[in-house]
Structure 1
């Protein structure tokens, strides 16, 4: 377990560092070519590599960090049953979108995000749907106190809130990636909402709700009990990715884009802080865990029998 924690923290740190390096490269180095010209040959080669592979690296490191975290705190079953639907359903939605314009509008991916599946969608895109989707869902689920035996209303409320959190991130991500000087994708139509078609936002919410609903259904008998301390990694991941998109949007685009950034703060950043803070500050007590276990309607042979086993789920 200790080795898992070390690996998880290492990849989280690399995810954050690579995001900051990406911001520095896009906002400081590229607009000032004399900085590159004054670098030694090794530095120029390193910068060229970072610009070519930096977008891939920060997504891959984020996905690894969240996958390790999920395995450690939730167990392999919960991790796999969220990751597989998230990756494959989001990939299907992206392939459909880049081929037909539904559900996101007509758009295409440019270079910078890695090998394109079917020549259309970079392999990193479904990974980002997975790690940000799980981050949003865990925070929403914890904030709304969703446990085994909760009402269906609470489960659906958590799914809706998680989809909103993920779409709130897109409010800063899409302008940063499609309208800043260095583009990673572009819309092939004039968008009504700051360059984005309104249906792009609906596509984000629909795709998120779809794969999260599948994951939630498969988790319906999994007792997920996470403390505020355990939710710190999802909080850091969400804020890191928000800061990346928001910083590029605010620095590179005009003052009009302060509106979607403000919406992203109101619909995403503030709620994730509230959800994180509303979780119990420490691990649940043995009594809490035993009560959670008792609420799981499974044959006794299938029920986790100790608090440690419940926490491992």
Structure 2
């Protein structure tokens, strides 16, 4: 189903405002706590909860939860997790890195929630690219670049806050190359999936997360 603004009712303004408030509350509190608290480890414990909250809120504002949507969501989540498992154990993808403890419970040395992170990024960037009247290939490339841009803002803080660690603390260019390749693949899955592609919460959530990591890395 293709997105058409004329047939999609606006979300309940109060409901949307509450969701936006929760997104801002969690990220502003986390930013202040990590940047200025004497015990940033306390705030890092809430990282999995923030990721789950983000995913849950996006799901709440996804009107069309058809089989096509769930097929896309499960496929991207599983593919993202599998890619990370291969990357961690073989260094074939992204480079030499290992996950820390901040993202929570791990299976095969990879946080279970990393699949959700791939899904949130793929979904959000795919939605943002649809705001422009572009052909499919251009949308796929734009959305993939948005994903790589987000990763570029996250990487400087990943090591200090125990998200993941690179060998010798050097972020390889291979990481960004592979991110772009897999982002394009994920965005193709998003583009071809048959569900209503509109979510009113996406712009604020993506911008808030982007600014969160950018400002955290700048402080």
The match for 2:27 is 19
Return 5+ residue gaps in structure 1 as ranges.
34-46, 146-153, 252-313
1:197 aligns with 2:176: no
Matches within 5 A, 1:272-283: none
| Superposed CA offset, 1:22-61 (max 9, x none) | 111111113xx6xxxxxxxxxxxxx87x435311111110
The match for 1:210 is 185
1:171 aligns with 2:152: yes
1:137 to 126, 131, 140: 126
Higher gyration radius (CA): 1
Matches within 5 A, 1:77-96: 77-96=67-86
Matches within 5 A, 1:121-132: 121-132=110-121
How far the C-alpha of 1:183 sits from its partner, in A, is 2.6
The match for 1:61 is 53
Cα–Cα, structure 1 residues 111 and 242, in superposed 2: closer, same or farther, change >3 Å?
Answer: same
| Structure of higher RCO (CA pairs closer than 8 Å, 6+ residues apart) | 2
Matches within 5 A, 1:263-302: none
1:185 aligns with 2:160: no
Paired residues, what number? 211
Q: TM-score, normalised by structure 2?
A: 0.85
Cα–Cα, structure 1 residues 16 and 86, in superposed 2: closer, same or farther, change >3 Å?
Answer: farther
Return 5+ residue gaps in structure 2 as ranges.
1-8
Are the aligned partners of 1:82 and 1:215 in contact in 2 as well (CA < 8 Å)? Answer: yes
C-alpha separation in 1, matches of 2:54 and 2:16:
10
The match for 1:239 is 207
How far the C-alpha of 1:138 sits from its partner, in A, is 1.0
